[in-house]
Each structure stands twice: as structure tokens, then as C-alpha cells.
Structure 1
Amino acid sequence: MQRISGASTGTIPPKLTTPGAVIELLAMTPSLQRSALPMLVRNNSDQHAVSSATTAAGDLAVPPASRECQALTRLARVHFGVATAMVMVSDARRQRMLAVDGVLPDMLPPDLSGPSLHASMMPDRTVVVPDTWHDERFRGDAYGIAMHRPRFYAACALTSADGRHWGALCLLDELPRTLDEAQREFLRELAGLIAHGYERDQALTTLRERVEELEAGGERMTLALAGSGTGVWDRNVVTGEIDYSRAWKAILGYEDHEIGNRIEEAYLRLHPDDIEYVRATMQTHFENRTDSYAVEHRIRCKDGSYKWICSRGKVVKRDSDGRALRMVGTTTDITALREMAAQLQQSIELITNLTDEVPGLVFQFRLMPDGRAFFPYASDGIRDIYELTPHEAATSAETIDALIDARDLNAYRESLKESAASLLPWHLEYRVRLPRQGLRWRLGDARPRRLDDGSTLWHGFITDVTDRKHIEAELQELATIDFLTQLPNRRHFMMQSEAELARIRRAESRVAAVLMFDLDHFKALNDRWGHPVGDRALGHFAALLRAEMRAGDIVGRLGGEEFAMVLPDNGTDAAIAFAGRVQQRMLSTPLLYDDEPIVLTVSIGIDIMRATDVGTQQPLSRGDRALYRAKERGRNRIEIYGE
């Protein structure tokens, strides 16, 4: 067995009970960050040793791991005091080691946290084998009789957000041992952090690959434009000169030197029936009444024949008064397309309306003057969007109305009526309840058109935006949480408290207790132990408050070392009892730093929120005055306003 990393250079607290504590510890101790990285690539000799050892351990190479993964692996070994911690990635064919810290085993252990081929459900994601010598799974050919193997084995599954198993965080040691429930929970939290980081790295890799694809696509587009027969022109509006590309001249059959560059000559090449239309469209764009210039017209070639061309351009430079100075554009030969237009016009309109939009459910929706509605066309995407077939929506829209969530059905119907009345685009986000998928979010976009019979026909698309809505909800949650304590921040606490006061006013017999907390001697704590320990103290106290809370209680960090709680439907006696439990819990659960307990105390002020209060600031202010009196009378006290 080979040693992969040296001993820890820092002192690790014996219990880290949350992922936030792990991140906080890594952030506050740079020396641990440096030492927590497995020394897989410290020098060439170390790298060679790892490669040799892993070849023996299943003939697997050690792939590069992120610094975060390496640090968490190191932290796992040091925290649990084991000989080896490793992260393994596994699939149906083999295992490979992603990160390792400590003594490299002679052979990779089995991944017992993964699903069994014969199991009907996912096993417990945390597996602990106190002594492998007494476990049949570690004997004989399964592990190698001639190989030295560790006595203790523990593993926690690494799973993706969708529940897919992709590896394990393993602990190995030379002596038999076990893990209590708190240690198992911490192992699961470390595994969760590693899995989250791994998925994030995979997503970033995919994003980089996508950017490379887009860049390559841009290059191909440039080459395609150059070889497609599309010509480019550049007009000086002031001097009347036009520079044509060689491809532009070739469209009309001219050599590079056979055509002039004056605008007057350009107008002479236009078909007489198209001159006024082209001039008017150009002038409208010069006057900045359109975003761009786009016309289809006929133009005379060198041999005297006419071609249909599509000319598109845009003023790219104007003077201070908005007058056009320079215009750039392209010209494309569309003669063949125009010749087919008469026969294919209806098909072209349908294809354009149905394919020029974002994929999903591409549809036509028709609302008749008598109120009947149906979908003349629905793409196969309707099977995913609504779990229906195109035929089921072709005769009546009621089949889809029945799937709209009751909370959004009225908005869905009214938005279509408004779009039909104004002929403005329809745009709506709404929820649907589907038999298989359950509650999902949909985004609909469509453009309406009035038909001769008075009906309205929409062409549009509907897409699934459920994931985006979930992300928006998560971002909203992040905006309401205090990062340091993971409690609601002051703004969110005040909003919840105002909502509780509104409920009290609706039922005047109701009250709620208000408690104000302030950690005693917090400045002295910071001065003696440093701000990182002060931050840990705030998080420690927040965890104690959460441990005493009931469902429906409102808590928040107001700022600094000051916290507040609202206990709905509780009076003064219940608030005093709650405050006493918090103080007792603080005495029995001191903050540990370098194995040294730091006893914290808290002063508490109490008041009652009543229907007569103008706003939540009134009871909070009274509670704060009671808190100030507790500070004046010696701290670590509970004071009630008015007593």
C-alpha cells in the first residue's frame, strides 16, 4: 500500500455537522485548503507512484479531479481519522478513482453503495462494514487473497440530481471501527457536496463544448455565405457611390471591372415597375422609420434579362441629425424561388409559420366567431406538452382547457380573448396538470391573424419552462436567506411578520409572542478569538434556534448578533418557556473551537404582537427595549416589556 498524502498541517474540529460548516471551515483556514488537496500531482515521482498503484488496483488510471473534490476528500480522511479516503466513479464495466487521500490500497474496494443487479430498489446509500475480515463480500476472488486489504470500510453513494448512481465516497482504515449516526450523516453531506461539484464541472464542460460548437458554426456560416452566391454591397449615401462584391456582380453576369459604382446607374438596372417601390422602401429606412431595408424586386442582367433578387440592408452610420451616411447590405438571387411561389405559396406560409419558431408544440389555433375553438394543426410535440395526440385537439380545444391548472385557467382564456380582440401577439406562462408528468409550467407564444369569416387564427409554439421556473424560485429563496446563518434575512423576516400581524387583525382574539435575542459579549468574543470564530458563533446560535422552533414559527437574523422570533398563537408564558429552553440549550451545547468549549449566553426581550399594533415595528421595538433592560441588568436574562 502506498501513501498518497502527508499528515494534516492544521487542527480539524472533531464534529462538522453541516455542509455550510465544511465550506466555512475551508474558507476560514487557508492552510487547510492547501493541505487538504490530495498530493496526486505534487511532483513527477508522486504521479508515477499513483499511476503504478492504480494499475495494480484494477488497471485504472487516476483522472484529474477538481480542487474542491480533492479538498473534500482530504477533509473526509482527516475528520474521520481513517487511513484512506477516496472518491470512485463507477459504471457497468469498471471503477476508476477520481480523488484519493492517504494510503492507496492494493486494490480498489467494491462499490457497495451502488444498486445491485438483482435488487428491486436502490439500497441504503450509506454502507458501513466494521470489519471486512468477517464480511463475505471482501473474501476470495472478490478482493484478492494475496492482497493486503483494510479492515474498516464505509461508503456513501454519489448520485446525480435525477437520482442516477455514478460513484461513491469511501473510507478505509487498518483497524475495525464503526460510525455513529452523526458521522454517517456528515459522510452523506460530504458525498452530496462532492456529487454537486462533479455535476457542476460536467455542466461547465458541456457548456464549453457548446461554445466551441457555436464558434465553429459561425465560421461555417461565413464560408457558406462566401460560396452561396450572395453578394454584398456598401453604399456611401452622401456621395452616391456603391462598392459591390465580386459575387454581387457575378449574379448579374458581370466581370469585376464591367460595372460602375454610381447609384444613378444602379437605379437604371431596376425593372421599371419596381423603381418607385424600391425608392420608397429605401427612403423610409433612411428616415429611420424602419429598422432595416428589405425588398424583393427585378433587376436587369448583363444579357438584358431580368432576375428576381432579395436585397436586404441597414444604415450603419448616421450624422448627429440622424441623416443616413452609410448603408451595408446583401443581395441574393431568388429567381428560382419566385418561379415556384405560385404553386407553393400556401405550403411556404405553413412551413414558415410552423418551423421559424422555437421547437416544442408548433400549432395553429382557431377561434370561431361563435366561440368554438380547435387546433387545425398540432405538431407531434403535443404528446409531451399536453400528453395528447394531434387528433384529440383537432376538433375541440376543451381537451386542452381541461389540463390547465385551475389557478391559471381564467388567465389562459382571457389572454386569448384579448389577443383576438387586439390582434396583438399572445404570450403567457401557465401551469398544466398532466396524467403522467404532474404539475408542469408552459410558455406559449403566438401571432394572431383575422380571417375573412371573422375567425382568428394563431400560429405559434408552446414550450416547457418548468426547469426555468424552478430555478427562478430557488433564486428567490437565495435572495431571502442570510448566507452566514441560513436563517431568513431581515427583509424576509419583516414580510413574514407583517403577514402574521394581518392574520391577527382578521381575528382580533389572536396574539403572537415576539422575542428579541442578542448574544452577550459578542465584541469581546470577536476580539479574543477572531471574526471567523464570531461567525461560527452566529451560525451555532442559529442552529440552536432552529432546533427549538415549531412549524409555523417565524425567525430571522436582523443584523450583527441580533435575532428575532415571532411565535404565532403564543402568549407571554409560552415565550418565557421558549426563551428558557434556548438558554438551557446554549449552556448544554457550547461552541467548540480547537477542542476548547466556548460557552455563549444570550439576553432575551419579550413582548406581544396585538391587533392594535400599527405595524410589526411596534412590538419589535417593545421587545428590543425589554432586551436592552436585560443587558443593563447583567445579561443572560429574560425580560418582559412593561414588567
Structure 2
Amino acid sequence: MTTYWVQVQSAAQQQTRLAEDLAKSGIEQTSHALALQTETMLRKLDYVAAHLVEQWQANAGQDFKAAASKAKKSLPDGAILNVAVADAQGQLLFSDLDAKRPWAGPQALMADRDYFLAHFKTPQPPASMFISRPTFGRISKAWAIVMSRPIDHHGQRQGVMVISVSATYLSRALGEVYTDPQDAALIVRSDGHYIARSHQIDKVLGKSVPLSRDFLTHPEWDHGQYQLVAPIDGVERYYAWHRLRDYPLVVSVGISKAKALAPVALAQQGAFRRNVIGSVLLVVMMLVVSQMRWKAARQAKQLRIAHERLHVTLHSAHDGVWSWHAKDKKVAWDEGIYKMLGVQAPAATASRLDWKDLAHPQDLPKLTREWETYLQGPHDGAFATEVRMLTGDGQPLWVSVRARVVERNASGQPLLLVGTYTDVTDRHLADESLLVERKRLDVLLERFPGGVLMEDTTHRVVLLNRVAIEWMGLSDQDGALIGLPHTQLLERLGPQKAAWLSGTHPQERRESGTTLEVEGPADRVLEIKRIEISDHDESLGCVWLLYDITERKHKERNLTALASTDSLTGLLNRRAFMASLTHALASVQHRSGPACAVMMLDIDFFKQVNDTHGHPAGDAVLQELTSRVRAALRQGDTAGRLGGEEFALVLENISPDDALNKANAIRERIASQPFLTVAGEIHVTVSIGVAFATSEMSAADVLSNADRALYQAKQDGRNRVVSWQQVA
């Protein structure tokens, strides 16, 4: 008996360790997924900050409020509290909280803020986005996490761009995923300061986690686990953490130890009670056997029945014993079953309770069908099923029903069956708890801003969210993709999309962490990242993450266009024009004669236009002049604005006479009609210098010749065309 109870205790300890391992494995995966989602959000904020810096520098701070408002609208309402700009002395230059500038004055100094000190007062200031400790805003009057980027010009740091993200918004986003306060999700800086927490955020803002945390004592680690009682709410949890790759933050997820082990604890309590009953019955039966040895053959039959009952009891860890008699086809329950179901046992003189009356209505057809099938078939095995029974107060109780034939007639038909009822509600609750965790994971996958494809160690699909199915052009009727081998998945994708997963066989895949940019459906541009899942040296499978970077690519193309064009006229800027001229000169090697004609064009007395009519009228003149020049050029000719009122043109494959005629045509088109502006009609003339390039000339040389010809045109009285040959 002692050995038996030692084995029972050992089994209980193994169950507890298994439940702990399952809980830790689950939060490890959840923590990793949350870290990836957090890093995606920070990349978007980083991109918004970089774009705002470019907008501020391009417009010299003018009309910046519209850009700040657009940046705030790119995230959910309330996520960004404020967009601000400070100069190198910490003086606030812009804040979108109030257009009347109530923040001007000493209170507007940011020089004492850690994000300002990080960019101006440290030996190695960050070159990209800096994430501050939680700060109580002097302007917003709310707790915020400040994301800041430096404003540099020609290598000199001129100020800092500040985006204040609501700490409450970050915490609320975590709380929407982890609704149970017994669980916790938190984001902290690499120095331990809290950034967000799913619950009780007001207790942690402005504070740090203890310095003994693994992610603080071991900055070289990128993930880990720990277990402790949280000082904030006194809940003991299992935690798993992941360090973000590109930002100095750590994401940690904790699940309540009590909740994780509750199903196992309840099951062990029930098992202990059943083992106690079994042990007591064993002792009782031993006494009964000792007492009945002297009895006659009449008692031998009862002794065999008792032995069979004991056998079934020991193998089923029963909560109650029942029997079925062929004579009256009735089921008899012992007191344990009545107590289990919370039903009053009938008096000795009353009729026995029909066991079918207490079966759950939805399970009664199943129970009746399986029972009748067992009675009509061979009876060498045991009857076993699991159904719901109704307790005395009408609540469902999951019960494992088992029985075995212990007495037969001469023809082998059963006369007596003895069995047990075992309460397995705790196990079903544990299964339901696992189902809830699976649903949480499904919700997380569906809210993940991209596609997710996961394969196990046998290279079979185990996870595939809706976005991945859509982007990869697959069809998942009735979940047919789950369990699909990798090779068959590639066949369904086709050769082009199969290359997205890098290789036609699992052994040919890219290394973990590598990315690939591809053209997806509906003109999307996708970024595909493959991540190997492993536990130390043991591979657990791999996951592909698909991100839609179409908007980012579109903005990159727009930025490239902005970098090569003049914002006022839409013509090539000086750098882009010089590159175009160099390319034109290179083509002269393939033909004889002039490579091209280069014209320098300057508006006569343009300063007087600005001084007399104002800069808006001057800008209108520049734009209208651009339109008239474009109308006069041939297809393939190039025009650029070199600066101020100075323009340049490149005309390829044109003779000197035709080039001079074209220059005079442009001059006359500009001088013939007045320019309509907000200040009224303005008459404008231009002077043009023309030079012709040959193969041995550089772009700077030919442009210098055209500039000298332009200078001569101005010296000769303006509103005229002069060629370099006339000056040389």
C-alpha cells in the first residue's frame, strides 16, 4: 500500500511539471508573437518621424501643421498626443496642440528632457529614433512615451523632432488582448523603465522593474523566462520575455501560475479522493475475504462478484459503483453516485431511479445507442463512454461510464454487469481552457498586420492565417491546408510563388531571419521574412511572416522624385539636371558633330518683380515661365531650374542654327504675352546663352560656356540670345 501511494504522489508531481512546461511553452510563443507585433508598430512610428523631419526641412518649418495632423491620423485616434519640434537649445519651435502658441516662453524649454539630452548631451548621440522614459507632458498634460529623431543639416544637428505616443493607448492595446487581470503583458526599456502594461498602468508609470531581471543583468540575451510574484498586484506568474531586435525595448508576457495549474490541481484532488476510497475499499474487502473463508459455497458467488467489483474499481479510480441486472433490466447506483450527482437516494421501498432520466438531453441518444449496441454484441471487452449527467440542481457533470460483464447464463448472455462512474469534469474544463488559449492565438493571428505561415519539424503546415491565404492565392476549404506537406504546398503555389519560400525543398530554405521582397497580388509589394523556431539546438519548425510594404515603397518612390525635382516648378533640380546632361554627353561618342545644345536662361530684372509685386507674384511668374518653356520644347528635351530665376535646357540631336532658332522662339514666347498673377499683369523678358557640346567636353565645361554666353547677353542689353561662338 505504501508503494502504491508513493507512485500516486510521483504521478501527481509529473502532471504538475507537465502542466508547467505546457504553460511556459505557450507564453514563450505568445511573447514572441507580441514582440514581432510591437516591432512592426515601432517601425511605422519611426518611418512617420523620419518623414516629418524631411517635411520640416523641405518647407523650413512652414505649413508643418498639416503634415503633423496627417501623421497623427496614420495611427488610431488618441495614439499620438503631440507632434513637436525643438531647436538645438531646447526651445520649442512647433507643437500641434494649439495654433496660438500658448507654449511659448520658459515652460517651452525641452533642454532638461532625457530625449533632448540623448541627442545633444551624450558622447554618441543616436542617429535614428530614440525612445524615452514615460514623461508627463508639460503641454499635453498626459503621460506619454516620446519617440524622437534628430534634425540634421549638412552634418550639423539643428534640433529634434518629437512624437508623443499615449502611454494609455499602448497599455489599452495590450489589455484588449490580455483581458484577464490574472495575466499580464508589459513593455519596458532596456534600462528597466516601464513603457506599457496591460493592467494597472497607473501604478508603474515613472517606475522601473527590479534590476535583478534577466533581461537587465544579461543584455546579450535576446529572450528568456522567469517566475515570480508581481509586487504590483501580488499575483505569481510564469513570464516569458523577448528583446526587440531593432529597438531598445523588451516585451514580457505572464500567465497566472494558479490559473495555469488549476485544472491539474482539481484533477489531482479528485484522484486523491478516489484513491482514498479505493484504498479503504481494498482494506474492507481484505477483511471481508478473511471473514468469508469459512462460509459455504453459497457465499462463493458473492465473493467472486465482490472481487470483480474491486478489480473494476482499482482500474477506473471510480467515484461510484453501479450494476445492471438482466432480470429486471434496471441499473442500480451506490451512494457514491447519488452523492456525486447531488441526488437524493430513493428509499428501500421506493422504485429505483431510471438512470436515463438524469442523462443530458443532448447526450441521451448517444448513451442509449452505445448501451444497446454493447448488450447485443460480444461481451469480451468493457463498456466505456463519456456523457453529461444532470446534477440535482440541473447543472451538467461530465462522467466516464465504464462496466464489465461479471456473470453470464449458460448461453453466454450477460446476467450482471458491474461498473463505475468517474467525474471527469475537471479534464473537460482543462480541454476547454486549452481551446480558449487556441482561440486567443487565432485572434492574435487574425489581428497580426500581415500573413503568417508556420510549419512543424516534419515540414507540414500547422498555422496559416487568412491574410497569408489571400496574399498567396490559396484556397483553404474546410481547413484542407493544415497538415499539408511542404512539397505539396509548393505545388499549389506554382513556380513563381513557390520561390517566395526560397527553395523547392525544406533543405534548400534560406537562413533564419532573412527577408525577400516580391510582387504580390493586386499590385502589392510584399516583404517575406523566414524565422527558424528552435529550443537551444533543437529545431521546432519555422514560420514565414508576410508584410504589405506597398505604402512604404510608394513613399520611397515619391521621396526619390522629390529629391530630384524642384518643388515650385516641377523641373529637374540642379543635381538631377547635371546627371541628365552628363548622360547626354556620353551619347556623343556614338555619332559625329555636336552632341547637344545647352541653353542657360535667366529672367531679366527678376529681383524687381519680387520687390515690387511680392514673392507670391514672383512664384507665379516662375511657374508660368516653366509652362511656356515646356510648350516650346520637343519631346525628349530636358529642362531644369538651377536656382532662383536661372534655368537650363538640354536639346539633343539639333543643329546650331536650329538650336539658336529654338532659343529665340522661347524668348519671343515669353516676351510676347504678359504674365497673369495675383498682383496683376507682369511683363517679363529673358536672356539666353547657348553653347554646343562635343565628346571631349564635361558637363561643367559646357554649362560654363553657356553661362558665359548668358552673361554676354545681359551685357548686350538683355532680352536676347547669344551663342558661345559669338563670345569665344
Instruction: State TM-score, norm by structure 1.
Output: 0.46
Structure 2 length-normalised TM = 0.41
Determine which structure has more spread, i.e. the larger CA radius of gyration. 2
